[in-house]
């Protein structure tokens, strides 16, 4: 038997199995979870069945008996559903932890809400230019490479954005603290 014939036979066996078990597994999952999760778990179950096709009991015959095949497939679906529920639980715990960490502001932590409001008042591209400059420490030529702008356009946008932020924050000088005076200018 050639490799191609073996693949064709394996595929035919899987299609026969899928024809036999998809509907019962789908009903099984829908009775235990939401429709969206049921679809995802069914897909994962079918993937496991494909990988473990040789382990499915009673599948070696030409006409597999649903009574031999389905219980094992239900077990696979049950395991996949348990994995999906554990993953959802981990995601939920992570989201809750992130929400708690945002709510818990340390006593000595600075309030940057005005700065964030000033950033939000900028256009999306100007906001990205400022963030790349201030938070990532990129020079205008590097920002130009990241955004697809020219270095000159980045320098102009950065200069104007810093002025807008300074005005919104009520600073007398447009110079943000902690930065050198020539840092926003192009080195070209």
Which CATH number characterizes residue 143's domain?
1.10.10.10
In this structure, the answer to whether residues 86 and 164 fall within a common structural domain is: no
Tell me which H or E stretch contains 179: none
How far apart CA 141 and CA 149 sit, in angstroms, is 9
Report pLDDT for 108: 58
pTM for this entry: 0.54
**Residue 149 dihedral angles phi and psi, to the nearest 5°:** -90, 175
Query: Is residue 187 in some structural domain?
Result: no
* CATH for 78: 1.10.1740
Question: Residue 161, SS3?
Answer: helix
Instruction: Please check whether residues 123 and 91 belong to one and the same domain.
Output: no
**According to the model, what pLDDT value does residue 32 have?**
93
Q: What is the pLDDT of residue 49?
A: 96
Q: Hey, is 170 helix, strand or coil? A: coil
Q: Print the domain residue range for 165.
A: 113-169
Alpha carbon distance 13, 36 (integer Å): 28
Pair 125, 66 in one domain: no
Q: How far apart are the first and last CA of the chain?
A: 68
Instruction: With H, G, I as helix, E, B as strand and everything else as coil, classify residue 130.
Output: helix
Total residues belonging to the chain: 188
Same domain assignment for residues 73 and 25: yes
Structure-derived torsion over alpha carbons of residues 148, 152, 154, 155, reported in degrees to the nearest 10: 160
Place of tokens 């919104």: 168
For residues 7 and 96, membership in a common domain is answered with: yes
Average pLDDT, consecutive stretches of 10 residues, N- to C-terminus, the chain (188 residues)? 91 92 95 94 97 88 80 94 95 91 66 82 90 88 90 94 89 57 56
Specify the number of domains making up the chain. 2
Residue 152's contacts (CB-CB under 8 Å, 6 or more residues apart) are 186
Last residue of a domain, one of 83, 103, 123: 103
Residue with tokens 């993953």: 87
């Amino acid at each position: 038997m050639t490799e191609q014939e073996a693949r064709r036979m394996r595929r035919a066996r899987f299609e026969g199995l899928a024809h036999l078990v998809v509907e019962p597994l789908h009903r099984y999952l829908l009775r235990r979870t939401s429709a969206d999760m049921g679809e995802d778990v069914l897909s994962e179950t079918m993937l496991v069945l494909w990988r473990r096709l040789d382990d499915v009991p009673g599948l070696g015959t030409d006409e597999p008996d649903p009574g031999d095949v389905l219980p094992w497939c239900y077990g696979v679906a049950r395991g996949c559903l348990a994995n999906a529920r554990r993953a959802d639980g981990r995601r939920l715990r992570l989201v809750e932890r992130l929400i708690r960490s945002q709510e818990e502001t340390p006593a000595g932590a600075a309030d940057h809400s005005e700065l964030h409001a000033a950033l939000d008042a900028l256009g999306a591209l100007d906001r990205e230019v400022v963030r790349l400059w201030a938070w990532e420490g990129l020079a205008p030529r590097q920002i130009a490479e990241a955004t697809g702008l020219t270095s000159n356009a980045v320098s102009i946008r950065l200069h104007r954005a810093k002025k807008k932020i300074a005005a919104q924050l009520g600073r007398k000088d447009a110079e943000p603290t902690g930065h050198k005076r020539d840092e926003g200018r192009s080195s070209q």
